[in-house]
Amino acid sequence: MFPRYLLDREVLFRGVGLHSGVDCSARVFPSGKKGINLYRDGSLIPLDRLEWDGDGRGTVLTLPDGYKIRTVEHLFGAIAGLGLDEVAVDVVGGEVPAMDGCASSFADSLSGAGLTEDGFLDPVRLDSPVAVDDRSSGRSMVALPYDGLRVTYVVDYPGTAIGTQCLSTDLSRDNFIDRIASCRTFAMMEDVETLRKNGLSLGGSLENAMVVDGRKVLAKGGLRFEDEFVRHKILDLLGDLVLLGRPLAAHVIAIKAGHSMHQRLVKEIAKRRISED
């Protein structure tokens, strides 16, 4: 079961973009229109009318007029994790603000604006497994029929403080709030300079990200969970699954995946739905 909640009043988030480093904002407000929609020039645009892709460092939406919005996954993860419906998102500045690098700021502010429980969401259900893989890198994902949303995620960063981490959890609303929302994004120290040369992570700092330097973790206040890294990957996945336009009822198993693999899985599930329709 996927409890459905309506947002009582709008919430405005301001900050800098994790990748752009420029000021940006995201306004989330009740739309009266089913699902999660993007607001642009007075119009509400459903997710199935958007193009989306990514470079492995986040998810980028392209609206019908060509306007691009990047790094939507943490905000979308909060919206999905709270079970919100009939909301619109208006992003100014081309990127959702990084806030604290996770979903806590989004989830806390949305909850603080008032949520009204109103029935249940209608999920996408599978009648057979859907799988994607990249054999050259050992990355793979499979979505299995399941009553609810369960995620089993494995990350593997040998020779680093992360090592191999695995977590399997049902993504109930309470589990999301208590175990996933506060887990921050991260980068490897050796990747930071390359990212910035490529125009990425320009707004990244220890205020909104963790940095892994070999066997050391640079994180404000220390780790929030011993396995915070794999928990953050689950947050990213939840945000990317929003691109289906409806919640997914499935057990999703991800091995060394990331945004690009998440997006491939979403596209495969979407194709399956189209062929069945």
Cα separation, 180 vs 234, in Å, equals 7
Lookup: tokens for 83 = 């079970």
Q: Could you please report the per-residue DSSP string of 158-183?
A: TTSSSEEEEEEEE--HHHIIIIITTP
Lookup: tokens for 119 = 């029935």
Check whether 236 is labelled as a binding-site residue: yes
- Is there a catalytic annotation at residue 262? no
Q: Point out which residues pair with 30 in neighbouring strands.
A: 87
Sheet holding 216-218, edge to edge: 186-188, 210-213, 216-218
Residue 120, SS3 per DSSP: strand
Name which of 171, 162, 152 is nearest 225 in CA terms. Answer: 162
Cα separation, 145 vs 269, in Å, equals 12
Candidates 19, 251, 259, 262; catalytic one: 259
Q: Residue 102: how many CB atoms within 10 A of its CB?
A: 26
Check whether 19 is labelled as a binding-site residue: no
Q: Could you please report the per-residue DSSP string of 53-94?
A: E--SS--EEE-TTS-EEE--HHHHHHHHHHTEESEEEEEESS
Check whether 53 is labelled as a binding-site residue: no
Q: Point out which residues pair with 68 in neighbouring strands.
A: 62
Sign of CA dihedral 208, 213, 214, 219: negative
Name which of 113, 114, 121, 44 is nearest 85 in CA terms. Answer: 121
Going by the annotation, the residues of the binding site for Zn(2+) are: 74, 232, 236
Active site residues: 259
